[in-house]
Amino acid sequence: MNKILVFASTILISLCFACGSVRPKEPFDLAKAPPVPDSSDLENWAAHPDKKDPADQTPCPDMKDGQSGAAVDVFFLHPTTYTGALRSQRDWNAAVDDAATNKKTDDGTILFQASIFNGAGRIFAPRYRQAHLNAFFTKDKVSAQKALELAYEDTKAAFEYYLAHWNHGRPFIIAAHSQGSRHALYLLRDYVEGKPLEQQLVAAYLVGWPVGQKFFKQLKPCNAPDETDCYCTWRTWEREFGLKHAFERDIVCTNPLLWTTEEGKYAPKSANKGGVVRPFCAVRPQIVDAEVYRGVLLCSRPKFPGSFFFRTKNYHIGDLNLYYMNVRENAEARVKAYLKR
């Protein structure tokens, strides 16, 4: 019961920043930013094929980590884990050697999200000077923008290092969540879309961040489960809440049970092959349904041990985890389609 309470509290804190988090007190100052990470140092990668890390794990004994023989890479950008939960977390950007933040990253998003893709390819997940959670809530928009730009510079540097030293012309998937997806959008636009590198793109999973229909000039949303050179994106809300409050018709949304952006096409729980919440070693089939509606993904209230405490109507924290098995199988299917192409 204590573990359930801790998990429920983590969810509520993550989705309700107003609950007393430590925040930056001064405007952004580049001179006070943490040191630039060295991408050649494997300590600055939360996941990497040349080290043992949580992205190597699978939630079932019969589910295999396929990274060692993979023909494809996965460049994964994690969401915000620098949340102000500790008194020391009051800067605009996290240091990549912040042990508490790194543990939260590794035990959370790398284990529960990046691991989704270890059946599809080798996982590369850089640590970066992520912007503080407050950057998404503060009235100081100038400082917030500078903090996000600094974080993006790190993801660019890591992607460039990956391309120069480890890619060797291999196909790749770009996958991300929340703040990570914000940075992945710009990586795709700056490095991939309309450029020779697009020939190596299997697909992108830009989850937990709104993607405008006109953001990309050429790159299209995926509308079939085996389509390649395209992207998938969704943000998950509780059904009744979404029916009342969703309004963003110019935002792309993918149904991760049907792999189409078609609005109003309903996928029942029976189509959900399994979510992974906590503990990690438990796959929960038919945990939620899915339907695209006005730019968001609607789903039923998930039920799992401790879900009684899950009161939020915004299921952002579970965008990937509620559809873990479907996303995992889809990534593998797109790889197979790309390699046959």
Range of the domain at 261: 2-340
Q: What is the 3-state secondary structure (H, E, C) of the chain?
A: CHHHHHHHHHHHHHHCCCCCCCCCCCCCCHHHCCCCCCCCCHHHEEECCCCCCHHHCCCCCCCCCCHHHCCCEEEEECCCCCCCCCCCCCCCECCCCCHHHHHHHHHHHHHHCHHHHCCCCEEEEECCCCECHHHHCCCCHHHHHHHHHHHHHHHHHHHHHHHHHHHCCCCEEEEEECHHHHHHHHHHHHHHCCCHHHHHEEEEEEECCCEECCCCCCCEECCCCCCCCEEECCCEEEHHHHHHHCCCCCEECCECCCCECCCCCCECHHHCCCECCCCCCCCECCCCCEEEECCEEEECCCCCCCHHHCCCCECHHHCCHHHHHHHHHHHHHHHHHHHHC
Q: Residues 26-70: pLDDT tens digits?
A: 999 999 999 999 999 999 999 999 999 999 999 998 899 999 999
Say which residue, 249 or 110, is predicted with more confidence. Answer: 110
Q: How many Å is the maximal CA-CA distance in the chain?
A: 54
Q: Residues 72-102: pLDDT tens digits?
A: 999 999 999 999 888 888 999 999 999 999 9
**Weakest-pLDDT range from 14-18, 146-150, 280-284:** 14-18
Q: Residues 208-246: pLDDT tens digits?
A: 999 999 999 999 999 999 999 999 999 999 999 999 998
pLDDT of residue 308: 61
Say which residue, 62 or 268, is predicted with more confidence. Answer: 268
User: How crowded is the C-beta side of 203, counted as CA atoms within 13 Å?
Assistant: 31
Write down the pTM of the prediction. 0.93
State how many domains the chain has. Answer: 1
Q: What average pLDDT is seen over the chain?
A: 92
Question: Is pLDDT of 3 > 90?
Answer: no
Cβ proximity of 208 and 181 under 8 Å: yes
pLDDT of residue 12: 37
pLDDT of residue 309: 61
Percent of the chain with pLDDT over 70: 93
